[in-house]
Amino acid sequence: VEWQRSGEYADIIYETAEGIAKITINRPERHNAFRPQTLFELQDAFNAARDDSRVGVIIFTGAGDKAFCSGGDQKIRGDDGYIGDDAVARQGIGRLNVLDLQVQIRRLPKPVICMVAGYAIGGGHVLHVCCDLTVAADNARFGQTGPKVGSFDGGYGSWLLAQTVGLKKAREIWYLCRQYSAEEAREMGLVNTVVPLERLEDETVAWAREMLEKSPLALRMVKGAINTVSDGAAGMQQFAGDATMLYYMSEEAQEGREAFKEKRRPEFERFPRRP
């Protein structure tokens, strides 16, 4: 794949090719741990991928083969969150803006594949849980560390994980803070497939290409439908928005718009009252 790089980022890399956007956390010296700036940049890149109508699938990964992401950067963790170098941080206030990224991945109406080589751990593990699919290299290691390092994720990191692997397993993962191999993760339904490290990108791209052959609207609706159950009112709101979008695309809705502009009575009687 001939990736085309774009955007001005310090902590991430944004690339596109053949209808695929690849977003890479680029802090390998810290096992791709994130700081507030990393997350602002990721949010910007995911927005770019959402807005680009040529992009149908997003691959989310980490630089190098040691880690996808090791969660929040513990070296810049303050007493109330992660301290960056923005104006808020200068007031001594920390951030937990990874939560905004989790929501963004869930809401993004295109499939997001997490491509994991090495560690997906702590807040990095939660990010993979939030992605639609995970393709793991055979050297991948999965796990939560929160209760070991003085943290936890009681949102998607807990209940979406429980929905993915079951309640007992989710408790084990959080209470014991063990690490699991790629094969163990596959057996518990935490990842979709495991491939040799050297084939990781090729296999992930193949999964992306397979989805790109499918109807974009159908994929959008299925993602929304699956998330609706677990996202409650917010999931319903997104799904309802998609229903409005589809309605706008109908002749019936367009007749309402045209009639308003032409200052005439809308001719809705020509549309069937569907059973």
CB atoms within 10 A of CB 55: 18
Assess contact for 101 and 79: CB atoms under 8 A.
Answer: no
Q: What letter represents residue 100's amino acid?
A: D
Which range touches ligand 2NE (CB under 6 A), out of 67-75, 108-116, 162-170, 243-251? 67-75
Q: What letter represents residue 92's amino acid?
A: G
All residues at 6 or more sequence positions from 12 whose CB lies less than 8 Å from its CB, including other chains = 23, 24, 25, 26, 38, 41, 42, 45
155 annotated as ligand-binding: no
Which range touches ligand 2NE (CB under 6 A), out of 141-149, 166-174, 230-238, 264-272? 141-149
17 annotated as ligand-binding: no
In angstroms, give the least distance from the CB of 235 to ligand 2NE: 21
Among 56, 84, 94, 122, binds ligand 2NE (CB under 6 A): 122
In angstroms, give the least distance from the CB of 98 to ligand 2NE: 5
Cα 212 → chain centroid: 17
The first and second tokens of residue 106, run together, are: 């869930």
Which range touches ligand 2NE (CB under 6 A), out of 127-135, 144-152, 193-201, 255-263? 144-152
- Indicate the pairing of strand 20-25 with strand 12-17: antiparallel
Assess contact for 185 and 128: CB atoms under 8 A.
Answer: no
The first and second tokens of residue 202, run together, are: 């090729």
Among 62, 123, 224, 235, binds ligand 2NE (CB under 6 A): 123
Instruction: Assess 9 for contact with ligand 2NE (CB under 6 A).
Output: no
Q: For ligand 2NE, give the closer residue by CB, 70 or 227.
A: 70
From residue 97, alpha-carbon distances to 100, 111, 130, 132, 232 in Å are: 5, 22, 15, 20, 21
In angstroms, give the least distance from the CB of 243 to ligand 2NE: 33
The first and second tokens of residue 25, run together, are: 């956390």
121 annotated as ligand-binding: yes
**E-state strands within the chain:** 4-6, 12-17, 20-25, 57-62, 67-69, 112-116, 119-121, 133-137, 141-143, 180-181, 193-195
- Interacting residues with ligand 2NE between 15 and 34 (CB under 6 A): 30-31, 33
Which range touches ligand 2NE (CB under 6 A), out of 108-116, 149-157, 162-170, 253-261? 149-157
In angstroms, give the least distance from the CB of 153 to ligand 2NE: 4
Q: For ligand 2NE, give the closer residue by CB, 149 or 236.
A: 149
- Interacting residues with ligand 2NE between 71 and 100 (CB under 6 A): 71-75, 96, 98
**Which residues are annotated binding-site positions for substrate?**
70-74, 82, 119-123, 145, 151, 248, 263
Binding site for ligand 2NE (CB under 6 A): 30-31, 33, 70-75, 96, 98, 119, 121-123, 145-146, 149, 151-153
